[in-house]
Amino acid sequence: MMSFDTIIDRTGTYCTQWDYVKDRFGEPGLLPFTISDTDFMIPEEVLETLKKRIEHPVFGYTRWNHYELKEAIKRWYQIRFETKIDEDWIMYTPTVIYAVSAFIQLITEKGQGVILQTPAYDAFFKVIQDNERQLVENQLIYENNYYRIDFTDLEQKLAQPENKLLLLCSPHNPTGRVWKQWELEKIVALCRRYSVFLLSDEIHMDITGREQTHLPVTRFPYEQIAIVTSGTKTFNFPGLTFAYTLIPDPQLRETFQKKSKNADGLSSPNVLGMLATMSAYQSCGYWVDDLNRYLEKNQQYVKAFLQKNLPAIKVAEIEATYLMWLDLSEAVSDISLLRKKLVSVGKVAIMDGTIYGGNGAQFLRLNIGCPKAKLADGLNRMLKGFEAAAKIENE
């Protein structure tokens, strides 16, 4: 019986996190805590569903637009978020970022502004800029190890007529914030006031702390709104590429479908991704609860380790995600030296916060979606890296 403690060797599976760590960190064989997938096995029920399907030897074109998928998503929203969604809103997309890109193209024109709250998931910068839109930063305010929205700045940016879309990340990667009801109400009210489209990436919606309540933005009445999300982050099958969007506006749905199905030729989904999503949503709510409890323990373990061994590192208060955001501003004077030593001495790969923009350069993003034993190994390696950097700094 597998548990979250089980170590699974992922090397040799063409997996980005382990097999291609050299691409980002310059050295092979580092212990990785990097891009956001986890080292956990998918739930048994999902694995069984996939095995059963693989036994059928034909993998032809497949339809996503059917009752079973839509009902599974609808029930998931009802049970997990106490949120009613209309099954007609559901549209398939292969990945969340494909849909973000599609919405950027449908809602805005070249040269127009997309507002992004930074620090932010690095793919957002690329998808905005490589669609030749202006990236308009609404930097989050960081105080007492906690991020909050600069609403004055946000309103100024929303008020500029060339800014047509706000790309919200809810819950937020990398800061781990779960936006509260009052914050979402204010965001929606401001978008409404200035007629700005609100696109909410909610891929981290299931991985939340026990005190936290994720609120899908479709709960708030506004016509110019859509959610992009998937079960791939939660259940760890992004390699099966299957995501979906919720689009309440029927006209926009039609336009989205024309673009993805006709213009971009994305008609048939990956059958395994679709079945995995259905199976996970139909029977694995308990698994997400267990996962969240496990991650909470990992988080406590990291905090205790740092408190004991590297107390100058401050940990941002995370409310969601399996990504810890470690503030080094008082821990080292030369962060680039530390980064080098983590790799060359610690033999550990931890994400450099610089790529997330905003005040990210003073942070490391540590992926704690792994068995505790790996985390313990990684923290000891991190300590070695810190000691090596401190030694040079003190010479």
Distance CA 110, CA 130 (A): 10
Query: Which one, of 160, 92, 88, 165, lies nearest residue 133 by Cα?
Result: 165
| Piece of 54-62, 93-101, 102-110, 305-313 that binds ligand PLP (CB under 6 A) | 93-101
Q: Which of residues 278-337 bind ligand PLP (CB under 6 A)?
A: none
Token digits of residue 272: 């395994």
Residue number, 178 or 306, with CB nearest to ligand PLP? 178
Contact pick of 97, 184, 246, 247 for ligand PLP (by CB under 6 A): 97
Piece of 73-81, 95-103, 312-320, 357-365 that binds ligand PLP (CB under 6 A): 95-103
Beta bridge partner(s), residue 32: 349
Place of tokens 């079945």: 275
- As a whole number of angstroms, the distance between CA 205 and CA 310 comes to 31
Q: Please identify, using beta-carbon distances, which residue of 113 and 238 lies nearer to ligand PLP.
A: 238
Compute how many other C-beta atoms are within 10 angstroms of the C-beta atom of residue 47: 15
Q: Which of 328, 336, 324 is nearest to 365 (CA)?
A: 324
Per-residue contact string for residues 48-87; x = within reach of ligand PLP by CB under 6 A: ----------------------------------------
92/305 with CB nearer ligand PLP: 92
* Number of residues this chain uses to bind ligand PLP (CB under 6 A): 13
293-299's contacts with Cβ under 8 Å and 24+ in sequence apart are: 293/210, 294/4, 295/207, 295/322, 295/368, 295/369, 296/209, 296/210, 297/372, 298/322, 298/368, 298/370, 298/372, 298/375, 299/324, 299/368
Query: Using CB under 6 A, which residues numbered 6 to 45 contact ligand PLP?
Result: 36
Of 49 and 245, nearer to ligand PLP (C-beta) is 245
> Rounded distance, CA 317 to CA 142, Å?
11
What residues form DSSP beta bridges with 165?
114, 197
Nearer Cβ to ligand PLP (208/306):
208
Q: Which is nearer to ligand PLP, 174 or 346 (CB)?
A: 174
Phi first, then psi, for residue 210 (nearest 5°) are -65, -25
Q: Which stretch binds ligand PLP (CB under 6 A): 53-61, 68-76, 77-85, 91-99?
A: 91-99
Candidates 47, 10, 357; CA nearest to 173 is: 357
Residue 245 neighbours by CB distance under 10 Å: 25
Strands 243-246 and 90-93: antiparallel
Single out the residue of 85, 96, 274, 370 in contact with ligand PLP (rule: CB under 6 A): 96
- Residue 18 or 121 having the CB closest to ligand PLP: 121
CA dihedral 167, 236, 210, 324 (to 10 degrees): -70
Our CB check for ligand PLP shows the closer of 242 and 294 to be 242
One residue of 158, 169, 350, 379 binding ligand PLP per CB under 6 A:
169
| 238 binds ligand PLP, rule: CB under 6 A | yes
Per-residue x/- mask for ligand PLP, residues 119 to 148, rule CB under 6 A? --x---------------------------
Nearest distance, CB of residue 193 and ligand PLP, angstroms: 26
Q: Is the CB of residue 266 less than 8 Å from the CB of residue 216?
A: no
- Among positions 38, 118, 173, 224, the unique one binding ligand PLP when judged by CB under 6 A: 173
Query: Which member of 4, 179, 190, 201 binds ligand PLP (CB under 6 A)?
Result: 201
In the shown chain, the binding pattern of residues 340 to 359 toward ligand PLP, with x for contact by CB under 6 A and - for none, equals --------------------
Closest to ligand PLP by CB, 331 vs 367, is 367
Which spans of this chain sit near ligand PLP (rule: CB under 6 A)?
36, 95-97, 121, 169, 173, 201, 203, 230, 232, 238, 243
